[in-house]
């Protein structure tokens, strides 16, 4: 996995994950295929996402709940940088993580989760190029109205405030906040998350991580 020496000129990746516990992850998918199968998909999604990250970029794993540090280390490796997520909604957790990364010297940050099997190193480098070329903020739109990635050159926490998270209005509200604050915006290619059994089947049909298909759904 992502074990080479960090590149100080690269953006810092902030990967937001939950502890791999049945019933706590991929709840919409679990409603379709059951909590244990959904957990298996979640674990494979997250592990595959870590493998696809540029190996020399600084990586912080922000995990929830806060008592899961040992569990996360056993899962993803003891040599990584782990932080418990802050309390509050997703916006509050993103804001605290971004502020912390910049306070400790990040050149720029890119926040992501593990829901999007098409998010690869090439797309992350595209986001980085946009930030280097003058964008204040970069969003990777998700097909469901949210976003799979947000990158920035400063702690632009206004884009995390009063956002209707996990709805079809999430990206639109975030873009409106960025525009109100005069930020230069770059949008990447829209991609699909895996949240339901239909999403999972589509990802397999498109050739992304076909091993994610649960054994009960060959």
Around Cβ 133, how many Cβ atoms within 10 Å?
A: 9
pTM of the full structure = 0.92
Average pLDDT over every residue of 162-185: 97
Which residues lie below 8 Å from residue 191, measured CB to CB, with a gap of 6+? 116, 118, 119, 123, 140, 141, 142, 143, 148
Helix-helix angle 35-52:69-76, to 10 degrees: 60
The label of the residue with tokens 């922000």 reads 62
Structural domains for the chain: 12-204 (3.90.550.10)
Sheet strands side by side (includes 109-112)? 81-84, 59-64, 12-18, 109-112, 147-152, 137-141, 185-187
Q: Residue 28 and residue 16: Cα distance in Å, rounded?
A: 18
**Secondary structure letter of residue 59 according to DSSP:** E
Q: Residue 45 and residue 116: Cα distance in Å, rounded?
A: 8
What pLDDT was estimated at residue 5? 60
Write out pLDDT tens, residues 177-205. 999 999 999 999 999 999 999 999 998 88
């Amino acid at each position: 996995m992502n074990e080479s020496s960090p590149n100080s000129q690269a953006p810092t990746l902030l990967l937001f994950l939950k502890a791999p516990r049945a019933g706590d992850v991929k709840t919409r998918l679990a409603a379709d295929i059951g909590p244990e199968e959904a957990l298996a998909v979640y674990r494979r999604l997250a592990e595959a996402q870590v493998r696809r990250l540029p190996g020399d970029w600084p990586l912080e794993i922000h995990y929830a709940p806060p008592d899961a540090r040992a569990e996360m280390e056993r899962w993803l490796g003891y040599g990584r940088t782990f932080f418990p997520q802050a309390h509050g909604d997703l916006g509050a957790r993103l804001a605290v993580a971004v502020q912390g990364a910049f306070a400790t010297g990040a050149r720029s940050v890119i926040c992501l989760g593990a829901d999007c099997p098409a998010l690869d190193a090439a797309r992350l480098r595209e986001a980085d190029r946009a930030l280097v070329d003058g964008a204040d903020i970069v969003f990777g739109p998700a097909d469901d109205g949210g976003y799979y990635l947000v990158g920035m050159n400063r702690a632009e926490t206004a884009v995390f405030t009063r956002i209707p998270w996990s709805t079809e209005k999430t990206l639109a509200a975030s873009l409106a906040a960025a525009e109100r604050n005069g930020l230069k915006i770059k949008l990447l290619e829209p991609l699909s998350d895996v949240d339901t059994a239909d999403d999972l089947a589509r990802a397999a049909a498109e050739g992304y991580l076909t091993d994610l298909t649960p054994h009960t759904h060959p």
